[in-house]
Structure 1
Amino acid sequence: MSLNTFKETLKPCTNQSISQSSSTSYNFETKSVNPRKPPKSSLSQQLLRLEDHTSLIQNKPQTPKKQNHFELKRKYEKTEEEEVEEEEEKGIGVGKPKLDPLLLDQAGPYEPLVLSSLEGKPPVQVPASINCRLLEHQREGVKFLYSLYQNNHGGVLGDDMGLGKTIQSIAFLAAVYGKDGDLPESSVSKERQRTMGPVLIVCPSSLINNWENEFSKWATFSVCIYHGPNCDLMVDKLEARGVEILITSFDTYRIHGRILSDIEWEIVIIDEAHRLKNEKSKLYEACLAIKTPKRYGLTGTIMQNRLMELFNLFDWVIPGCLGTRDHFREFYEEPLKHGQRSSAPDRFVRVAGERKQHLVSVLRKYLLRRTKEETIGHLMLGKEDNVVFCAMSELQKRVYQRMLLLPDVQCLINKDVPCSCGSPLKQVECCRRTASDGVIWPYLHRDNPDGCDHCPFCLVLPCLVKLQQISNHLELIKPNPRDDPDKQRRDAEFAAAVFGEDVDLVGGNTQNKSFLGLSNVEHCGKMRALEKLMSSWVSQSDKILLFSYSVRMLDILEKFIIRKGYGFSRLDGSTPTGLRQSLVDDFNSSPSKQVFLLSTKAGGLGLNLVSANRVVIFDPNWNPAHDLQAQDRSFRFGQKRHVIVFRLLAAGSLEELVYTRQVYKQQLSNIAVSGNMEKRYFEGVQDSKEFQGELFGICNLFRDLSDKLFTSNIIELHEKNRKKDDGTHSKEDLNVRGMYFVPEKDITTASFEGAESSKRKEEECTAVAPALEDLGIVYAHRYEDIVNLGPAKIKEKKEQTMHLDYPPRQPKASTAGKKKLDTITGKENTGTVNPITIHKKNQYSILARSMGMEEVQFSKWLLSATPAEREKVLKDYRKRKEKIPNG
C-alpha cells in the first residue's frame, strides 16, 4: 500500500515521552539504558569449531541455499504489475524510504513532536510524517539540538556511527523552518524563510549525495550543491534567497571559504566534525570565519589522537567555552595525561579525577553522546571485538631482525648515545647524524648527499612503513611495478638486504608473479591464522568483511580467497563511486558472496554491510577511530546476528606498539568525553620527553619485541598491581580479562574436588593447545575488556536462569596458557566467588554429565546443535530436576 494509505490506517495514541516533549529545556542527564546485555561468544568457541568443521560441512543441509537461489530466480521473473505494487509499498513513488517492520515497532505515533509552544506564535514542532519514523533516541537528539538553538549557541551531536545523526539534523531543521512533511509549503514556513537565513552543511565529498538524498526523503527543502562547476550560480541564488540548504565539501569550502563566509548563515552544520582537529589547518581557519553563533558538529569520534583536538572542536562550536588554549592545556590536558600514568602518585590521580569531572560537566552542556548499546542495543545481538596476536613465521622474524640491524635504523636507535669519536656530543649531533652507508637514507637524499635539516629523523616514517609491511606480508617490501623505475631499483636493493640468505625462499627480491606463491600462507603468520578461522566461519554460513589499509595486501588476499574457492566482492579506492552501492547491495543479497574485501580508507564511511557477521581487520592503524569505523560497516541498525570482530596483529612486531597506542588514545578519549575511570596500564605520557615510558619515543618504535609478550606483560602487570593494592585475589578478575581459552571451574568447587579436578583441568587445557599452536595464535583478549567504551555502565542484576544459546563465557588465550592455569588452580587464589556464578557453573556441569560428556565436549556440541536440540536438552533437564526433591 502507499504511504498516504498507511498514514490513514494509523490511529493516534498517547506517548508519555512525546507528551513531555513540549518543554523547551532539554534534560542533559537523560540516558537510555539498555536493559539487556548482548550475548558474548569467545575466541575459544571459534577455535573449538575448527576440530569439527569438516564434519559440519558434510552434514550441513543444502536446502536453505537452494531456496535462496530460487528466490533470486523468482525476483527476476516478477511481472510488471508486481514490480509496480512493490514500488508503491516501498514508497518509491513518493520519494520516501521503506518503513522497516522492526523500525515501526520502535517509532512513535503519527503526531507532531512539539519542541516549543508560545502564546501568539506558531508552535515549533517536528512534522508528524517525520516524527513517526524517528526512534526514541533520535527524538532526544532533536530536542537537544533545538535547546541549543533556543539559547543561540552551538553544540556537538556525538552519537555513535549509524545512529542517524543526519536524520536528527534534518528533523531539527524541519521544525525550525516550519516544514510540514509531505504538504506544500505553509504560510509559517514561508514567513520563517523570509526572516531566517540559509543553512550551510559542510561534509566529506563522498557524503554530499547522501545528504541530498536524505533531504529529498525526509523534508521539502530547497537544496543546492556548492561543489564542482557552476559554483558562482549558487552564490547568485543564495543572494536572491532561492536556497534554503547549501551543501558543500571540506575541500571546496577550504578553497572558497572567503566567498561563503560573507553570507549571514542561520545555521551551520559540519558533518564528520573531527576533521576540525588541527587548529593550524586551512580548513579550520576558514571555518572560524563563518558568521553565525549556531554552529553544530556531527561526529562519532569526538577525539582521536590528542586532548587538544577536543579543545579545537569545541572552541569552534562555542568559542571560549573551554577557556583559552593555554588554560585548557594546563588545567585539563596535563593533569589528565599524568594522572593516567601507571605509577602516578595518589595526588596526581586525585587531581586528574577532579579535573575530569569538571571537564565532563562543562562538555555536557554542549555535547550529546550516545552509544549503540545504550540506544538500539536491544534491537541487535551485540558486538564482540577480539584482538588476536598471531605469531610471525620464522622467515618473517628473521627478516624483521635484519631490518632492525640496518644502518638506517641503528642511526635512529643510537641517536642519543655518546659519539664514538670521543666528542662529548651525542651521535645525532656529531658523526652519525646521517646514514650514508644505509639502504634507505641514500635514496631519500640522492639529490643532497650532505643530508637535510631533519636528519636523521627524516628516516622515521620510511622505516616504520617497512616494518609494518614485513609484519603483514613479505611480498609488500618487494618493488611495486606501478612505481617509477628508480624507486623499484631502490626497493629491490632494500629487499635483497633484508632477505639475505633467505632470498630464494621468497622467490627472489622482485615481485612474485606466481599465483600459487602469492596465495601461499606458509610465510605469513596472519594469513595462516586467517585461513583456519575463515574455514570455520564459511562452514557455519557466516559472511566476512576483510579490511586492509594496503591495496597490495588486498591483491594478495584476493588471490588467497580465489585459491580457497570463496565467493567474494572487492571495493577499494579505484572502485567508481557509482558502482559502490551496487556492490554493497549484491553482497547483502547474494548467498554466494561469502567475503567482502575492503580498503579501510575507501570502505570506512557510508557503507551498510549488515549481512556480514564476521569482521577481520588485517592491519591496525595508528588512529583508533579508523579501525572502529571499519567495524561499524557491519554493526549497524538492521544487523540480525551477533557480530564478532577479529583484529589481527603480528606478535612481537611494531604492530603491538601501534595497538597499545590505540588503547592509550581511546582511554584518554573516554576519560575526557565520557568521564570513565580507565585502567592505568602505561607509564608513558604523550608529548612528554620526561615520561616516554614504554610507548613513546623513537627508541620504543624500533625496539626488538620478538622475545617479549609486550601487550600481555603490560596487562598482567596491571592486574598484579591492582590485586596487590586491593589485597584481593579474585577469580572473577581473571575471567573479566578474557585471556584464556579453556573454561575453568570455580576455585570454591575445585577446592572440594581436590587433585583430581586439577588434573582433569590440565588435560582439558592440553587438549585445546594443539588447536592454538596450529592457528599460530600467541595471545588474545577482548578490546572491551581492556578499554571501557562509552559512558560508565550500570551493573545489571544477574538472574539465576540458564540459557543454552551460548555456553558460559569462556576465558581467552595466553601465551603462557598452561602456566597461567597452574597459577589459577594453585593455593595462591583463595578469594571468594559469586554464589550465582557457582550455581550456574554447577548446573552446566550437571547438564554436561547428563549428556555423558565432559564440559569442553559439551561446549563443542552446543556450538553445532540447532536451537530445537538445545531446547529439548533443557526441557529434559528440567523434567528430571522436577522429579528429584530439592534438586
Structure 2
Amino acid sequence: MELRGLKSFHYSIFPHLYSRSLLTPSEIAALAEGDEFMFGSYEVQIQNPVDEPNAKQASGKPANTTLQPVQPPAAKISGIRSLKRPFSMVSSGESNPTNRHFVSPCGKIEKHDDWVIDEEEGNIGAGYVEGRIAHRLRPHQKEGIAFLYSRLKNECGGAILADEMGLGKSIQTIATCLALLKNKSLKIDKILIVVPSSLVDNWISEFRKWFPYGKFPAEAIRKVSDLRRHLSYLITPFIVCSYDMVLRYARHLFAIGFDVLICDEAHRLKNSNSKIRIMLENMNIQRRVLLTGTPLQNELAELYSLLDFAAPGKFGTPAEFMTLVEQGDCNELLDEIMLRRGANVNSKSLPPKHEYILYCRPSNLQMKLMEALCEDMFADPLTTILHLRTVANHPSLFLQKSLEIESKPKLREIIVEASKAKQAFTQNSGKLMVLGSLMEAFAQAKERVIVFSNFTQTLDMLESFCQNLAYEVLRLDGAVATKDRQKVIKQFNESKYYNTVLLVSTKTGGTGLNLIGASRLVLFDLDWNPANDLQAMARIWREGQMKTCHIYRLLLTGTIDEKILQRQIKKTGLHTIFDPEAQSAECKFRDEDLMEIFELSGDAESNTHRLLECDCGGDGTTIEEREDEDELEEEQEDIDDEEEKENENENEELDGDREDHEPEKDGNEEAHGNGDETTQDGTPKVSMGELNAWRHYSPESPAFPLFLRSAGFDPEIPPESLTFAMHYTSTF
C-alpha cells in the first residue's frame, strides 16, 4: 500500500481498490507500526513501514507474482478463510518487503488461544474454534459445540440441539459451523440456515455481534434479487433464509449445493408430510442440525418425526420407536442424537424468575354468557370452546359476533340486559380488572411490560385499554411486516419511556425473539400447547437480562381457562422421556376430567387447587415446609412425653391412652392411602410435583398482603377480582 497525500493506492493484493484515506500528510507521516485506519470499507493495520524503492519494487508486476499460501502461526488465526484458498499478504516476487505474516485486525479485542474441539485423526484435520470467540463461550456452550462437531464431522451426521430457551443455541451453531469450514479435510463450503421469517434479522444480528470487522460471512435471502445476487458470486459461506423462501425457491437453493442444513425452531418440521419438510428432504443435504427449545409438544410421534429427519433410519419405524420407548431402551439412542440442557446450567448468568398463576373472578356478565353457551351449544363443539375462550377474555369480544348470536335467543336476552346495565368496560372482565391493577403498579415502579395473547381481537382491546392508562403501546403481531419487526423490538428494548407496553401475538412473537428490555410479562390467555407459552415466557428470562423477572398467567376461575392449565400439566408428563428429572412431576389428571370442559364453577377460589387436595390453607407454605413443621411438632411431643413419663403416677394412664389411639390412627392412614386417585367427595385428584412445589395463596389468609407486595401489586389497593394465586421462584 502506498499512501500519497489524501489518496491511498494498494498494489500487491487488491489492485482494483482505490480509495481516499481521509488522512492528511502530517497524519500519514505520523503513522507507525500497529496504527490503524480505515481504507474504504476495510480496517487497515500498519504491519511495517517500508522505504519507497522497496515498496515500488514490490508493487511492480514481475513474471512470477502468484500468491503462495502462508500458514499463519497457531493462536493467531482470525476471521474466515476463503472458500477456495486462504489469503496471504506475502508476494512470491523477488522482494519480500516485510518478511512477516499478516494478522487480520480485530479492533481492540485481545488475542486468545484457539480452542481445540477435536484432535487430528487420520485424514481428518483438527477442529478448533478461534480464540476471539472461544474465550467468550460459557462452559455449557462449549459442551454443545463439542457435541455438534462430533456429530457433523461425519458425512451423514445429524443432531438436535434442544436446549431450553436463552442458552445460546445460535452461537453454539455458528461456532460449530466455523470449525467445520476451517477443517478443509471435511470439504464443507456452504451452510444453509432456515429460520422463521421473524428471526432472519435476529440471525444476521448474531453474526454481526461476532464479526464486527472484516469480511462478513453471512447473507440474508429475503427476496429473489438477494438470491440472484448470491448466485452471481457464491462466496458467502452462510445463507440465512426463511421457511417461506425455501418453499418458493427450493430449486434455486438446491442448485447452490449446501453441505450443512441448520433448521431453527425445528418443531415446525414435526409433520412428516408438510411441504416444507418434503422440500428440505429433497435438497439432499446430508449433515443436518435441528434447533428447538421444545422438541416434544403434544405426542411422541412428533418427537420421532424430528429424530427421523435429523438421523434418517436410526430410530426405525414409528412402531419400533414406540417399542423402544415402552421398553425404556430409547434414552441411550437419544443421547447420541439430541442434547438438551435446562436453564440451570446457566445459573450464574440468569437473574431470579418469579412465576405467578392468578385466578380471576368472572364478572356476572361473563358467567351468564358462559352458562348460556354451555346450555345451548353450537353444532360444532370447537366453536363453543372458542366462544368460551373469547368470553373469558372479555364479553365485548363475543358480542361482536352478531350473526352467530342472532340464532341464540337466550344469548340475545343477556346482551340486551347488559346493554341496559351500562356497567363499566373494565368491570365486565375479571382478568382485565387484575391486569389493570398490575399495569398501575408497573407504572409506579417504572417497569416496561409485555402482554401476550393468542387473539388479535384481544390485542386490539388491550391496546385501547393500555392507551387509556397513559401507556405508550407497541404491537408485534401478524399485521407487522417481517422487515419492521426488528425495528419494533429495538424500539421497545431501547425505549427511555418506562410506561411502555409491548402487545405480542403468541404465535408471531413467541419464538426466538430477545425482549430483555422488560422484566414483567403477562400471559393474558393460555395456549392449549404448553410449549407455546414456555416459548413466550422465555422472551425476557434469557441471556443478557439483568433484572429479576416476573411472569404472570391470568386465568378466569372455574372456567375453560383452568381446563387449559390442567391440560398443559397433563402434557408435561410427555417430557419424562428425555428429562428424567421430570419423572417426579407425576400427573394424575384423567382424560375424562379434562373432557368436562363445559362445566363451570365460578364460585370456587380455584378449581385446580381443589383438585390438588392441598391442605396448605392458602397460607403460602410448601409441602416440604409443612412436613418440617410436622416433624418439629412430633419432636416436641416426644419431649413432652418424656417429661410426663418421669411422673410415675401418670405413666400408666399415658401408655393406655397411646395404645387406645394407635390402632385408630393406623386405620385412618390405610383409609387415606386407598384414596390417592380421588378426593373425599369422589372427584378426581390432581397431583403434580411442580404445582405442589408452588406456594398457594388465598385472600382469606393473613399471608395474602405479603404475597401482593412481592408480586408487584399495591397491597393497599388489592385487586377485588383476584380469588387465588400460586407463586413459584426459580433460583439456582
TM-score in terms of structure 2 length? 0.67
Question: How far did 1:235 drift?
Answer: 8.2
- From the superposition, tell whether residues 362 and 586 of structure 1 become closer, same or farther in structure 2 (CA, over 3 Å): same
- From the superposition, tell whether residues 252 and 542 of structure 1 become closer, same or farther in structure 2 (CA, over 3 Å): closer
Matched, 1:325 2:318: yes
Tell me if structure 1 keeps the 8 A contact 2:405–2:411: no
Question: How far did 1:134 drift?
Answer: 2.2
Matched, 1:282 2:284: no
- From the superposition, tell whether residues 714 and 95 of structure 1 become closer, same or farther in structure 2 (CA, over 3 Å): farther
Give the distance between the partners of 2:355 and 2:243, measured in 1 at CA: 32
Of 80, 104, 113, 2:115 maps to: 113
Matched, 1:124 2:127: yes
Q: How does 1:752-767 map to 2 (within 5 A)?
A: none
Q: How does 1:661-680 map to 2 (within 5 A)?
A: 661-674=567-580, 676-680=582-586
Question: How far did 1:783 drift?
Answer: 9.9
Q: Which residue of 2 aligns with 1:167?
A: 171
- From the superposition, tell whether residues 731 and 706 of structure 1 become closer, same or farther in structure 2 (CA, over 3 Å): closer
Matched residue of 1:111: which SS? coil
Give the distance between the partners of 1:814 and 1:856, measured in 2 at CA: 6
Matched residue of 1:461: which SS? helix
Tell me if structure 2 keeps the 8 A contact 1:478–1:491: no
Question: How far did 1:2 drift?
Answer: 11
Q: Which residue of 2 aligns with 1:843?
A: none
- From the superposition, tell whether residues 567 and 331 of structure 1 become closer, same or farther in structure 2 (CA, over 3 Å): same
Matched, 1:395 2:365: yes
Matched residue of 2:289: which SS? strand
Q: Which residue of 1 aligns with 2:64?
A: none
Of 362, 365, 373, 2:333 maps to: 362
After superposition, what is the alpha-carbon deviation per residue over 1:268-295, rounded to whole angstroms, capped at 9, x for unaligned? 1111111111122122222333423321
Tell me if structure 2 keeps the 8 A contact 1:667–1:787: no
Give the distance between the partners of 1:329 and 1:395, measured in 2 at CA: 48
Tell me if structure 2 keeps the 8 A contact 1:736–1:785: no
Q: Which residue of 1 aligns with 2:141?
A: 138
Question: How far did 1:477 drift?
Answer: 0.8
> Which is higher, the Rg of structure 1 or of structure 2?
2
Give the distance between the partners of 2:163 and 2:36, measured in 1 at CA: 29
Q: Which residue of 1 aligns with 2:696?
A: 812
- From the superposition, tell whether residues 630 and 745 of structure 1 become closer, same or farther in structure 2 (CA, over 3 Å): same
Q: Which residue of 1 aligns with 2:539?
A: 633
Aligned AA (1:632): A
Matched residue of 1:681: which SS? coil
Question: How far did 1:861 drift?
Answer: 9.7
Give the distance between the partners of 2:235 and 2:628, measured in 1 at CA: 71
After superposition, what is the alpha-carbon deviation per residue over 1:704-744, rounded to whole angstroms, capped at 9, x for unaligned? 4446653223322xx69xxxxxxxxx999993369x9xx99
Give the distance between the partners of 1:236 and 1:863, measured in 2 at CA: 55
Tell me if structure 2 keeps the 8 A contact 1:124–1:175: yes
Which structure shows the bigger proportion of residues in helix conformation?
1
Gaps in structure 2 of 5+ consecutive residues? 1-33, 38-44, 46-74, 76-104, 638-685, 713-732
Q: How does 1:135-534 map to 2 (within 5 A)?
A: 135-152=138-155, 153-178=157-182, 195-219=187-211, 220=215, 222-230=217-225, 233=228, 236-237=231-232, 242-257=235-250, 260-261=253-254, 264-332=257-325, 335=326, 355=328, 358-375=329-346, 377-406=347-376, 409=377, 440-441=378-379, 459-479=380-400, 489-493=402-406, 497-506=410-419, 520-534=425-439
Matched residue of 2:508: which SS? coil
- From the superposition, tell whether residues 287 and 118 of structure 1 become closer, same or farther in structure 2 (CA, over 3 Å): same
Matched residue of 1:209: which SS? helix
- From the superposition, tell whether residues 544 and 753 of structure 1 become closer, same or farther in structure 2 (CA, over 3 Å): farther
Aligned AA (2:171): I
Q: How does 1:535-684 map to 2 (within 5 A)?
A: 535-588=440-493, 589-674=495-580, 676-684=582-590
Tell me if structure 2 keeps the 8 A contact 1:619–1:649: yes
Gaps in structure 1 of 5+ consecutive residues? 9-18, 20-93, 100-107, 179-187, 336-353, 410-439, 442-458, 480-487, 509-515, 685-691, 721-729, 755-780, 789-809, 822-854, 865-887
Question: How far did 1:225 drift?
Answer: 4.1
Aligned AA (1:573): G
Tell me if structure 2 keeps the 8 A contact 1:477–1:491: no
Aligned length in residues: 563
Aligned AA (1:233): R
- From the superposition, tell whether residues 567 and 737 of structure 1 become closer, same or farther in structure 2 (CA, over 3 Å): farther
Give the distance between the partners of 2:354 and 2:174, measured in 1 at CA: 32
Q: CA RMSD in A?
A: 4.3
Q: How does 1:680-695 map to 2 (within 5 A)?
A: 680-684=586-590, 692-695=591-594
Give the distance between the partners of 1:507 and 1:170, measured in 2 at CA: 62
Question: How far did 1:331 drift?
Answer: 4.1
Aligned AA (1:627): D
Q: Which residue of 2 aligns with 1:702?
A: 598
Question: How far did 1:299 drift?
Answer: 0.9
Question: How far did 1:192 drift?
Answer: 6.0
Which structure shows the bigger proportion of residues in strand conformation?
2
Question: How far did 1:525 drift?
Answer: 0.8
Q: Which residue of 2 aligns with 1:761?
A: none
Tell me if structure 2 keeps the 8 A contact 1:202–1:270: yes
Which structure exhibits the higher relative contact order, with contacts defined as CA atoms closer than 8 Å and separated by 6 or more residues? 1
Give the distance between the partners of 2:689 and 2:35, measured in 1 at CA: 44
- From the superposition, tell whether residues 370 and 672 of structure 1 become closer, same or farther in structure 2 (CA, over 3 Å): closer
- From the superposition, tell whether residues 734 and 109 of structure 1 become closer, same or farther in structure 2 (CA, over 3 Å): farther
Give the distance between the partners of 2:302 and 2:36, measured in 1 at CA: 44
Question: How far did 1:168 drift?
Answer: 1.4
Q: How does 1:738-749 map to 2 (within 5 A)?
A: 746-747=629-630
Q: Which residue of 1 aligns with 2:644?
A: none
Tell me if structure 2 keeps the 8 A contact 1:258–1:286: no
Question: How far did 1:609 drift?
Answer: 2.5
Question: How far did 1:247 drift?
Answer: 2.7
Matched residue of 2:426: which SS? coil
Tell me if structure 1 keeps the 8 A contact 2:124–2:185: no
Tell me if structure 2 keeps the 8 A contact 1:548–1:618: yes
